[in-house]
Each structure stands twice: as C-alpha cells, then as structure tokens.
Amino acid sequence: MRGAVWGRFRPLCPVPLGRRRCTTTTRQRCLLARSDYSGAVSKRASSREYRRGPVLLRGQQIPTTTSDQRLLAPSHGSSWRHDDPRRVLRIQSEFVEGFGALAEVGAAVSVFGSARSAEGSADYALAQAVGAALVKAGYAVITGGGPGVMEGANRGAAEAGGLSVGLGIELPFEQGINPWVNLGVDFRYFFARKTMFVKYSEGFIVLPGGFGTMDELFEALTLVQTGKVTGFPIVLMCTSFWAGLIDWLQATVVAGGQISQSDMDLLHLCDDPDEAVQIVVQAGEQLRAQSRRAAHVVARPAAPGTEW
C-alpha cells in the first residue's frame, strides 16, 4: 500500500477461465432470482474495519459520519473559515493521488453494479464474464472496488491476467477493496472518485444495481448528453432488469418532452458479455478516428494571407 493506493499481485486462478462451462445462457442467468446479500453484508459489518483515505480504523475508532457528510453539512458560526480551506488541500491531494495512480492504466472500461450480489449469483457470474471479455479485448477493468458485481468484474479481469482496478470510497457500511483488485485507490470524496471513473474510462458497462449504480448511470448520461465528456458508450446489461426503466423513460420522459428521442440512443442494451464489449470496441474505434480527424484539422497550416 502506498498512501491511499493499493497494489497487489494478480490472484492465482485455480481453474482456467477458458475451461469453464455453464449449462445456462447469459439471458437465462439474468432471469434467475437474485440472492439476498444481507448475510454477507452483516458479516462484513461485524468485522468493523473502516478506511478513511490511507487511514485504517477499527472498533470504536470508526466515525459515525463520512468526510462527504461533514463537508456538505450546514455551517454554524465562522468555524468553516478554518475547516474548509484545510479540506480543499485534502481534496486536492485526492485528485493528485488518483491522477498519479491511474495515469498509465491505458485503455479501460468502468463496470458498475450492485454491491449486494452474492458470489454465485447470476449478476456476479455475468460481471465475471464481462471482466474477462474486456481483458481479452485489451482493456483494463475499473470498478468501485467493493463486493458484489464490482468484485465479480475485478475477479474476471484478474483471472484473465488483466489489470483489475478498484476505486474505493469511504462509507459508514460496506465495503473495502475486494481481494481481486491489483491496483486500488481509496477516496474520501465521491466527486473526486467520480472524476477518475470518467477520466480514465472509454465506456461504461452497467449491470443491475441500486441507488449508487443509478447515480453513476445517470451522471454518465448527463455528461455525454451535455457534451461535457466525449460521447463514450453506455451499455446496460440484463435487459429484463432495465426494461421497466426504459419503458418509463420512453413513455413518460420522452413523451413529455423532458428529453429527446435521440437521447435514448445513448443507451445500448444487451445480455451477452461479448456483445457488450464489442459495442465498446466499435465506439472506441469511432471516437479515435474522430480525434485523428480533429487533430489533422488543427494541425493543418493556415492559407497564405490568413495569418493574424
């Protein structure tokens, strides 16, 4: 561990990924009932281990509030004049640490999904297959570094011999960096962590999840829709899970004029890991071609007589 950065050797894979067989299709796995993860969450909670940046806390040392909560709490009196400037330096250090740790990751894709999907569940297996397929296509895999779907994607990447990245976050409950991450960074602040997801990813693959997953999904959609980031692909996996949301967006939000029909084209739905990765690969090739054309236009010399 180096400050807030984790580095691990790649875990050994007891069974080569290519030799594994499954009697059900990916879509069938998506339709299976998802396991209740409360037992695993309780087990992690009982360990009473908590990370705040590079600091490890246990037992009674675990705080009842997070850094984000304290930052965004209403200020009373003038104490903020002394506290907030110090927080700015801490925030700056998180960006510096994150940029330094991830600068040489190369082509990468972020995978999002529930922290409550148990090992052996349909979603965990799907995430594992996605992670392996991304590595096969030449990508590193970036997740939130936690359990569930995140662990599955990290595991698939690590077992396939690729770079498995986890961006952890300080939370009052779950989670900690999972054991399949071989490059991990712990963050105090959500906004610093979110910047890393967007800056170092060429696409988002989103599996079933809760509020955190929805937050990442809609933030990515907003950034692409408003042109704040390059239009990287956003793939939703397990169509049965997302069908209700897509129907609501189409029938209510598009119909009501809150978004346009073209905004729905930002979303790609599929059930097969290889198809999801192919969507990312094709979009990446298109974006790189656009960047080359743009660079050629910028580098082209001005016509005689047009210089200022």
Q: What is the pLDDT of residue 175?
A: 62
Q: What is the pLDDT of residue 1?
A: 61
% of the chain surpassing 90 pLDDT: 56
Which pTM was predicted?
0.75
- Residue range 85-89: mean pLDDT, rounded: 83
* Cβ within 8 Å of residue 221, ≥6 positions away: 234, 263, 266, 267
Q: What is the pLDDT of residue 290?
A: 77
- Residue range 26-46: mean pLDDT, rounded: 41
Please determine, for residue 268, whether its predicted confidence score (pLDDT) is greater than 80: yes
* Cβ within 8 Å of residue 27, ≥6 positions away: 239, 240, 271, 272
Range in 35-44, 53-62, 67-76, 235-244 the model is least confident about: 35-44
Query: Residue 72: which H helix or E strand, with range?
Result: helix 67-72
Cβ burial 57-66 (10 Å sphere, 16+ → b, else e): eeeeeeeeeb
pLDDT classification of 263: cutoffs 50, 70, 90: very high
Kindly report, residue by residue over 106-154, the tens digit of the pLDDT. Answer: 999 999 999 999 999 999 999 999 999 999 999 999 999 999 999 999 9
Kindly report, residue by residue over 166-219, the tens digit of the pLDDT. Answer: 999 887 665 679 999 999 999 988 999 999 999 999 999 999 999 999 999 999
- Residue range 19-44: mean pLDDT, rounded: 40
The structural domains of the chain, ordered by start, are 95-297 (3.40.50.450)
Mean per-residue pLDDT over the chain, rounded: 81
**Best CA proximity match to 147, nearest among 122, 170, 113, 171:** 113
Q: What is the pLDDT of residue 35?
A: 38
**Best CA proximity match to 193, nearest among 219, 162, 167:** 167
Please determine, for residue 34, whether its predicted confidence score (pLDDT) is greater than 70: no
pLDDT classification of 44: cutoffs 50, 70, 90: very low
Please determine, for residue 70, whether its predicted confidence score (pLDDT) is greater than 90: no
Q: What is the pLDDT of residue 9?
A: 47
% of the chain surpassing 70 pLDDT: 72
More confident residue, 285 or 20: 285
Q: What is the pLDDT of residue 62?
A: 73
